[in-house]
């Protein structure tokens, strides 16, 4: 359950003035929209599931909360529907001696979709999110903005008054990263790694993978007006990641010693899950605080 891609949202610091009561309310409201599973003709189902098998909908450890949004989707490729619809249309044409028009063909495709859905395979997935109620963080672990928005949309639908806002910082990530690369100096607590993307105003893009960032070639790109849009970094020799110009933290990789620490302390799977979550949330919380400092902090209006 170690997070890999972070979409960052802010909650007001006073949002959880009574964490115990808020946790109970959150559990109660999520329980109204749990994942029910796909019925025979449902192409998709969405709802809350326990993050830890057999556990509660909000997994709480040391006043850190973990949520999971489950999704079931029927796998019914359009090409399969089209093939069955085409076969049925051909049979109608041969039996009745007439051509099938576009409108009727669409209706046949809709009929075939309903007929085939009960036989379609079901794919399940889940999206995790961590809430730090004391420090005002909502962090969604998602490989894409669409899935992060899906989680946030369902959270707003399920829970009253969740004042989550996209994280804002004083210095734009692109300007900060460009400055770090141009000077060859990372902010305190960070080192610059060897993956980099630069982009011009005309959208011309240059990417470097496992390439030293100290060459004159990269500084010339910056002098020509390109800015850094993605940069690989390491924080305190503990977590490596890629920061992009939208303030998304991707490709998180935790130092092996952290996971070995979890292995050595856990006596069973439930303990391992809790230790993993505790270590992950603690490390990421410190990383985010240092990253905010490196980017000039948050605007006063956002606090």
Instruction: Give the model confidence (pLDDT) of 218-276 as tens digits.
Output: 999 999 999 999 999 999 999 999 999 999 999 999 987 666 766 666 677 888 899 89
What is the pLDDT at residue 56? 94
Q: How far apart are CA 57 and CA 25, in angstroms?
A: 12
How much is the average pLDDT of 195-217? 91
The DSSP annotation for 125-183 comes to EEEEEEEETTTTEEEEE-SSHHHHHHHHHHHHHHSS----EE---SS-HHHHHHHHHHH
Are 165 and 302 a contacting pair, CB within 8 Å?
yes
**3-state secondary structure labels for all residues of 171-194:** CCHHHHHHHHHHHCCCCCCEEEEE
Locate 167 and state its tokens.
């994280």
Average pLDDT over residues 159-186: 93
Mean pLDDT across the chain: 90
Specify the pLDDT at position 162: 85
C-alpha–C-alpha distance, residues 135 and 15, integer Å: 10
State residue 189's pLDDT score: 95
pLDDT at 140 over 90: yes
Q: Give this prediction's pTM.
A: 0.85
pLDDT at 14 over 80: no
pLDDT at 261: 67
**In angstroms, rounded to a whole number, what is the distance separating the alpha carbons of residues 244 and 295?**
13
Alpha helices in the chain (DSSP H): 19-30, 78-96, 102-116, 145-158, 173-183, 216-223, 256-265, 269-294
């Amino acid at each position: 359950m170690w997070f890999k891609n972070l979409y960052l949202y802010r909650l007001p610091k006073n949002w959880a003035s009574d964490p115990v009561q808020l946790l109970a309310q959150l559990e109660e409201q999520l329980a109204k929209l749990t994942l029910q599973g796909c019925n025979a003709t449902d192409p998709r189902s969405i709802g809350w599931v326990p993050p830890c098998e057999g556990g509660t909908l909000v997994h709480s450890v040391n006043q850190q909360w973990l949520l999971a949004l489950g999704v079931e989707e029927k796998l019914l490729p359009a090409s399969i529907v089209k093939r069955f619809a085409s076969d049925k249309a051909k049979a109608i044409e041969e039996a009745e001696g007439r051509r099938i028009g576009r409108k009727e063909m669409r209706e046949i495709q809709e009929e075939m979709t309903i007929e085939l859905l009960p036989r379609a395979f079901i794919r399940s997935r889940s999206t995790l999110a961590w809430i730090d109620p004391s420090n005002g963080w909502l962090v969604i672990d998602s490989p894409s903005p669409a899935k992060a928005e899906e989680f946030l949309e369902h959270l707003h639908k399920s829970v009253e008054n969740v004042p989550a806002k996209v994280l804002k910082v004083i210095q734009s990530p692109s300007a900060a990263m460009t400055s770090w690369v141009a000077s060859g100096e990372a902010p305190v607590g960070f080192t610059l790694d060897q993956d980099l993307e630069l982009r011009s105003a005309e959208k011309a893009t240059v990417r470097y993978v496992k390439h030293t960032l100290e060459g004159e070639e990269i500084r010339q790109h910056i002098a020509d007006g390109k800015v850094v849009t993605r940069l690989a970094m390491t924080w305190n020799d503990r977590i490596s990641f890629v920061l992009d110009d939208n303030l998304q933290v991707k490709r998180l990789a935790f130092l092996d010693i952290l996971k070995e620490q979890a292995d050595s302390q856990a006596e069973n799977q439930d303990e391992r899950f809790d230790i993993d979550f505790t270590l992950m949330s603690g490390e990421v919380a410190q990383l985010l605080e240092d990253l905010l400092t490196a980017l000039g902090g948050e605007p006063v209006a956002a606090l």
